[in-house]
Chain A
Amino acid sequence: MAEVWNGPLRKLDDWRWIIPREYKKGMLVEGIIYASERMIQAIRKDQAPEQVANVACLPGIVGRSMAMPDIHWGYGFPIGGVAGTDVEEGGVISPGGVGFDINCGVRLLKTQLTEDDVKPYLEKLVTVLFRNIPSGVGSEGKISFSLQDLKKAMVEGAQFVIKKGFGFPHDGEYIEERGALRGADPEMVSAKAMERGKDQVGTLGSGNHFLEIEVVERVFRPDIAAVFGLFSRQVLIMIHTGSRGFGHQICTDYLEKMQSAMGRYGIKVPDRQLSCASFDSPEGQAYFAAMACAANFAWANRQLITHWVRESFEEVFGRSAHHLGIEVLYDVAHNIAKIEEHVVEGKKRKLCVHRKGATRAFGAGEEGVPEVYRQVGQPVLIPGDMGTGSYILVGTELAMQETFGSTCHGAGRMMSRSEADRVSRGRDIPSELLRKGILVIAESKATLREEIPEAYKDVGEVVKVVEEAGISKRVIYARPIAVIKG
């Protein structure tokens, strides 16, 4: 797994590297990696580029098999991978192209508070947030859904929990797909997934998931920042979590089903973890319907956490969330497959776009972008690793033409969890971060060590590449002041 990859990479320009079709038998399109020359050396250190070539072999793939600069090795697809298949020409859908944590994603809340307003209450705020938001391994939610409610959440996503009173009525406007991906069918979800999911809704989870309080430190594009309602020194809250055990089980169930289906349909792929079926087949349709349920579960999850963030701020500041201006800026998925229309070789086509560790980044004028942002493009939320802060980008026209409106999703791992654990043994990570001005509270010390900053690529360099390549533009950078980890 950790072998160096020595395959061919043809430099197209300073930010684009092509894996030619001739590299591997079965590649239907070429591969492309967005990266700087310096990053390419690191990217070659594992077999992630081979996975880009493998994805290029998926039946029905069009355009290119793409990888964003935060590319690293994943199961089947690389993390940072984007691929579109033409569903009207037998294009496939692959659970490995979404991953186990379906609709792992990021939601950003803005406030009308500045750093000076929050600093004196920070410790109290973090304690209250930690108490109000369940996190950690095996954590159970504060609410347990009945089976009937769980099924509603699978179809209506964030909209369902908003209706139940967990959120402002307009929150849904500021979520990708309005927090409810169409095509979800609970009948396609196993009883096992529901059993795993019912107590986990409204939980942060563990691993790389977190809740972070940040302060806007740099404004790159004041005009766009103004449209997004962002200003210098403003306090933001970032929520990073997904569909938890519910999504893991759906992915597990369908990888198994796809294994058997591939034999029946005579589909051959270079890696078993890339198992797939044509989107139109019963298995493809069933997976999409179940995956949509998990995507909606995740949006419901982030909505519930939003509600408890608001309650926590209300408790600490003694003012209503409305008064504090705690509003959803946006909510993006970074592990998902969606049906979208894109122009390929001059022709509009209906594609199944897989984004695995990649974010939708629609440009100005696109219908999928909330009306208030439509003149500038979609906000793209890019969390860094613990302690380095986050970027908010905006989607571009070029992304629409070149990457099916997609961009990077974060820093991207550079060290495996076990390697990070080894190099950080004996270190006091909370004290190290506190010296940098970041208050950390975590359920597990082991998680903190696995998530040390040096385990990740520099998120600044990742966003620089996507900006230079023209597939998104930086709007602001926010520095963390507090982190809550599972």
Chain B
Amino acid sequence: MAWGKTLAKLFANAALGMFSLIGELDRVENRFTTQVAVDGNDYEDLLVTWLNELLYLFEAEGVLLKEFTIQDLGQYYLKGIVSGEPIDVAKHTIHRVVKACTYYEVKVEKIRPQLWRAQVYFDI
């Protein structure tokens, strides 16, 4: 479950939540930055696709991400800048592998003005 004052914050917070499941983020520094752009069929699909794109970066680039800036978010696309640090096993603690973000009971809802909530399940 993730919350945000805006839809953009919600997507950023969901990503931060996912990476806190993967590893300890306190000692992750800002040494890697990349641009991410994804699209979807609706906000739910967009959220799942966004998180899976970040999981791909984690495994393929071997990076722990901790900062997520959403630059552009519309129906239904997202562009953002993400940053973190290449994994160094001597420095970073990795908790677990998240295989994927699933579509199971995925929800993106505005629960009141200035408060969005999302729910996703991960396969670990």
- Partner-B contacts on A (CB < 8 A): 1, 75-76, 99-101, 137-138, 192, 195-196, 205-207, 245, 248-249, 251-252, 255-256, 259-260, 263, 271-273, 275, 417, 446-447
Contacts and interface: CB of A to CB of B under 8 A. Distances in A.
Contact of B103 (A101, A137, A275): A275
B94 A137 contact: yes
Interface string B15-55: 00000000000000000000000000100010011001001
Nearest first, the 10 A-B pairs at minimum CB distance are A272-B103, A195-B60, A100-B99, A273-B104, A248-B99, A245-B59, A75-B102, A137-B94, A273-B103, A252-B100
A75 B121 contact: yes
Contacts of A101: 99
A99 B104 CA distance: 13
Q: Which of B49, B99, B106, B124 is packed against the most chain A CB atoms within 10 Å?
A: B99
A76 B104 CA distance: 7
28 contacts: A75-B104, A75-B121, A100-B123, A137-B97, A138-B62, A138-B87, A138-B89, A138-B94, A192-B56, A196-B59, A196-B60, A205-B97, A206-B96, A207-B124, A245-B59, A248-B99, A248-B100, A249-B56, A251-B100, A252-B52, A252-B101, A256-B45, A256-B49, A263-B41, A272-B106, A273-B103, A273-B104, A417-B124
A79 B60 CA distance: 28
Contacts, number: 66
Contacts of A138: 59, 62, 87, 89, 94, 97
Contacts of B56: 192, 195-196, 249
B45 A206 contact: no
B103 A259 contact: yes
Interface in B57-106: 59-60, 62, 87, 89, 94-97, 99-104, 106
Q: Of residues B89, B95, B100, B106, which shows the largest number of chain A Cβ atoms within 10 Å of its Cβ? A: B100
Interface residues of B, number: 26
Contacts of A206: 96-97
B71 to A, nearest CB: 22
B93 to A, nearest CB: 9
Contact of A272 (B49, B94, B104, B124): B104
Given A138-B59, A249-B56, A417-B124, A100 B100 contact: yes
Contact of A446 (B48, B96, B121, B123): B96
Given A206-B96, A248-B99, 18 more contacts: A75-B121, A99-B123, A138-B62, A192-B60, A195-B56, A195-B60, A196-B60, A207-B97, A248-B100, A249-B56, A252-B101, A255-B102, A256-B45, A259-B41, A260-B41, A275-B103, A417-B96, A447-B96
